[in-house]
């Protein structure tokens, strides 16, 4: 497996920014031209603004009829210009207040249409709006879409399909230059998360995953520690060990990566912990999944890939706070030693857990991993997991569920989802849900068989293993969405990297 870290994203997404307008001669030399404007583009003054081919663009809209001026979603209209090259002009009318999710979805369409011609030249983008904020949001959306488009995905066919490796974007009419480092770092992290999640199960066993993480840790300067089965036995991590005991190969374990800022740690600097569920394949255990639910269960490690991608992105940005990243790597297999319903196991923090359903393995491996993360007393723990089907039933696959033990954070969590385009919705975390998890033979049940509000019960279960730490739990119901989501062109979305960067860098939740 060749990890996509050998070539910087900046070399594959080439961006040029200019305050000048494009001339007719410049347009005529290229095959792609994107014009981004507001509804005022349809007015008479724009015809006299000096924009090349303005009449052709407006005529194309008028020929489409009144519906073409509707702005409930960003409009994308194509016109072939009457020049010798037959330049394809893509006209978009956008309201400045459009949600980022809509802008990212539009940007994916722009990149897809522009690249469908196999044009080798840059995509020229003329920004007609003089609203600097609107310009910035459009540029960020297009760069994010380009970064996702060039991200390589696994392809093990004899003749692999051609994958675009570079996209050049040239922006004109900008009020000011825009720093795109966050978009590029988020793209790098998301591309890594998607690449790992898409790996077939036999190409990403816990052992092979650990090897890939070792390569990454050397490339990015992370300190790495691996707690194998023997080490976890000494730590009495019975919840984690229960899940992996059914595997014939003893390659499961918990990876601990440490990032430390290059600058000396300042007094009062906050510590961040990222935790990810890394079930490389999930059969369901002795409660065996049927075929239609077991297919694609190699993707059940996406939470760990998102945690890893987030760590990579923050490293690229030289995040000024220490980060510890914990990856729970295992497989949930069947076999004579596999754990069973009604087993009672003891987690690392001493709590006895009554096993109710062996397909609720994710919360088991996370229990001990969260305990380890909490031992370092971080100021914030964020965990990611493709944890429950009930979250998918509640939200579908365009939102992910979010939970926290700090109710005051809920507005910031929602806003971070809106501003990043990776939308989340919070669920309650009231302690009275714990009554459902009361056990007659242990401290708590792993889950119930009723299936009601299992995403909430799973979060309540995990809350017993975080100590007194501030905590955010992301149930990745949007980890996979047919046809891609927002700017992401693949079914596997790598959801969570952009959301977390916005939460940390813009909402500054770690400083609260």
Place of tokens 């295992």: 330
- Closest by CA position to 46, among listed 93, 80, 87: 93
DSSP-based helix, strand, coil % in the chain, nearest 5: 40, 20, 40
Residues 362/386, Cβ–Cβ less than 8 Å:
yes
Alpha carbon 5 to its chain's center? 17
* Gap between the Cα atoms of 378 and 389, Å rounded: 29
Tokens of 252: 């499961």
Q: Secondary structure of 271-304 in the HEC alphabet?
A: CEEEEEEEEEEECCCCCCCCHHHHCCHHHHHHHH
**For 200-238, b where at least 16 C-beta lie within 10 A, e where not — what string?**
ebebbbbebbbebbeebbeeeebeeebbebeebeebebb
Residues 326/255, Cβ–Cβ less than 8 Å:
yes
Contacts of 235 (CB under 8 A, 6+ apart): 227, 348, 368, 372
Tokens of 20: 């000048």
Tokens of 47: 């015809």
| Cα radius of gyration rounded to whole Å, the chain | 25
Active site residues: 289, 363
Q: Is 258 exposed, middle or buried (0-12, 13-18, 19+ CB in 10 A)?
A: middle
Listed in sequence order, the DSSP H helices in 317-429 are 361-375, 389-395, 410-420
**For 52-66, b where at least 16 C-beta lie within 10 A, e where not — what string?**
bbbeebbebbeeeee
Whole-Å CA distances, 63 to 7, 57, 59, 80, 418: 45, 10, 6, 14, 35
**For 420-445, b where at least 16 C-beta lie within 10 A, e where not — what string?**
bbbbbbbbebeeebeebbeeeebbbb
């Amino acid at each position: 497996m060749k990890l996509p870290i050998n070539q910087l994203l900046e070399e594959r997404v080439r961006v040029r920014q200019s305050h000048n307008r494009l001339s007719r001669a410049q347009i005529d030399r290229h095959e792609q031209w994107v014009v981004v404007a507001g509804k005022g583009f349809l007015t008479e003054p724009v015809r006299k603004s000096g924009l090349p081919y303005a009449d052709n663009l407006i005529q194309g809209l008028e020929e489409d009829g009144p519906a073409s001026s509707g702005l409930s979603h960003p409009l994308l209209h194509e016109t072939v210009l009457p020049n010798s090259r037959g330049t394809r002009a893509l006209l978009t009318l956008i309201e400045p207040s459009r949600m980022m999710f809509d802008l990212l979805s539009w940007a994916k369409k722009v990149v897809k249409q522009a690249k469908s011609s196999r044009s080798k030249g840059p995509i020229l983008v003329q920004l007609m709006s003089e609203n600097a904020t609107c310009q910035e949001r459009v540029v960020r959306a297009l760069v994010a879409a380009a970064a996702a488009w060039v991200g390589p995905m696994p392809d093990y066919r004899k003749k692999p399909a051609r994958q675009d490796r570079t996209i050049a974007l040239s922006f004109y009419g900008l009020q000011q230059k825009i720093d795109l480092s966050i978009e590029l770092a988020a793209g790098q992290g998301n591309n890594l998360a998607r690449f790992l999640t898409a790996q077939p199960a036999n190409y990403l066993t816990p052992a092979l995953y650990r090897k890939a993480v070792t390569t990454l840790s050397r490339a990015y300067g992370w300190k790495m520690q691996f707690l194998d089965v023997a080490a976890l036995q000494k730590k009495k991590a019975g919840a984690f060990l229960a899940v992996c005991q059914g595997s014939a190969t003893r390659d499961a374990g918990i990876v601990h990566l440490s990032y430390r800022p290059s600058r000396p740690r300042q007094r009062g600097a906050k510590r961040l912990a990222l935790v990810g569920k890394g079930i490389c394949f999930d059969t369901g255990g002795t409660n065996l999944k049927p075929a239609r639910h077991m297919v694609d269960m190699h993707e059940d490690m996406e939470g760990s890939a998102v945690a890893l991608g987030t760590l990579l992105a923050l490293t690229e940005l030289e995040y000024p706070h220490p980060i510890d990243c914990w990856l729970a790597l295992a497989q949930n297999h069947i076999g004579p030693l596999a754990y069973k319903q009604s087993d009672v196991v003891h987690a690392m923090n001493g709590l006895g857990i009554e096993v109710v359903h062996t397909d609720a393995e994710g919360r088991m491996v996370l229990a001990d991993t969260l305990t380890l993360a909490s031992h370092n007393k971080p100021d914030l723990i964020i965990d990611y997991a493709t944890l429950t089907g009930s979250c998918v039933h509640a939200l579908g696959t365009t939102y992910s569920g979010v939970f926290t033990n700090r109710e005051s954070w809920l507005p910031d969590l929602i806003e971070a989802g809106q501003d990043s385009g990776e939308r989340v919705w919070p669920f309650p975390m009231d302690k009275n849900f714990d009554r459902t998890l009361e056990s007659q033979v242990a401290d708590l049940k792993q889950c119930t068989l009723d299936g009601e509000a299992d995403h909430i019960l799973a979060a309540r279960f995990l809350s017993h293993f975080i100590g007194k730490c501030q905590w955010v739990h992301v149930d990745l119901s949007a980890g996979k969405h047919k046809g891609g989501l927002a700017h992401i062109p693949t079914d596997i979305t790598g959801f969570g990297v952009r959301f977390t960067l916005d939460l940390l860098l813009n909402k500054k939740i770690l400083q609260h």
